[in-house]
Amino acid sequence: MMKKTIAIILTLISILTLAACGQTATQQPAAEQTQAAAQQDPSAAGKEAVSADPKIASLSAHLTNNLLALGITPAGSVLGGKAKDFLAHVKDRLKDTQKLGVAAEPDMEALLALKPDMIYADEAFASKDLSKYEQIAKTKVISLDKGTWRDHLLEMGRDLNREQQAKDFIDEYQKQAEHVKELIKKKIGDGTVMAIRVSAKELRVFGMGRPMGPLFYDDLGLKPAKGVEKISKAYEVISQEVLPDYDPDAIFVMVNVEDDAKKVFEQLQQNPLWQGLKAVKAGHVYFVTEQPWLDYSALGRKMTLDEAEKIFAK
């Protein structure tokens, strides 16, 4: 009897020992795999993987349009502040996108209900209280004031495993920019260029800063009218009386949609100072719209080139 008891105890000990060995053997490869991955890519430790099709909330209209350029439709996006809706030139691409208020004050209830996997935000707004977004989902903040739209697109491409798409987009854009540059040159030669915006209250000259400056004077290689190169910011408010100081060979005109703005421009056209500009006398006045021309995003720049191509291909 004693021998049987000892035999049973020894058998149980053997089973437990084998189970423990099996558990150790199962766990060990996982640890080895983690260590090997860390050796291959030290930054992999603690890095959250981005799923193949993440649900993204965008808290910037510009970043939304970068996502669209990468072939990604965000699950939720903020609206254009002035329009209180998705920007007109991309609205048809956001039919299935949840509206999240405006960038300056996102709709937090809608954002919570969306349950995104990832949030993209503009540093100018999100940095004030970043924690409230980080409590909802992984949050990536991008400063639109640092770098160019190309830099922003590449950064987002790397985040979302679409870096090649970002590079391809930029390459195609550059080719189109060269083509549009040649079309413009056929119309105005090596003449100087400026762009203005007319509202009911003021007249603006666009400077060298974004959104218009980089397009005209970098991407398209146009020559700024005399004095424009001194405006390093986005624009400068001027009086009608100083227009002859710039006297460009070609002028791009953006008139706000309000009726009062249209009336102001009609009055400007009757002004002898306007009529005496080289661009006006030569018929090199080109009308452009707020969107997409003011959209400093990858898709916005591409759509602007599309419009410029139509204008100068005539």
The fold adopted by the segment(s) 174-312 is Rossmann fold (3.40.50)
Q: What is the domain partition of the chain in residue ranges?
A: 56-161, 174-312
- Tell me the average pLDDT across 240-247: 96
pLDDT reported for residue 84: 79
User: Tens digits of per-residue pLDDT, 96-143?
Assistant: 999 999 988 999 999 999 999 999 999 998 877 899 999 999 999 999
Digit-coded pLDDT (tens) for 214-240: 999 999 999 999 999 999 999 999 999
What's the pLDDT at 199? 96
Distances, alpha carbon 221 to alpha carbons 72, 87, 130, 184, 217, in Å:
31, 28, 39, 10, 5
Render pLDDT for 24-57 as a digit per residue (tens, 0 to 9). Answer: 333 333 333 333 433 343 333 333 445 668 999 9
Q: What is the pTM of this model?
A: 0.81
Q: How far apart are CA 70 and CA 53, in angstroms?
A: 12
Contacts of 246 (CB under 8 A, 6+ apart): 194, 205, 225, 226, 227, 228
Fold classification of 56-161 is Rossmann fold (3.40.50)
Confidence of residue 82 (pLDDT cuts 50, 70, 90): confident
Give yes or no on whether 56-161 and 174-312 have one common fold.
Answer: yes
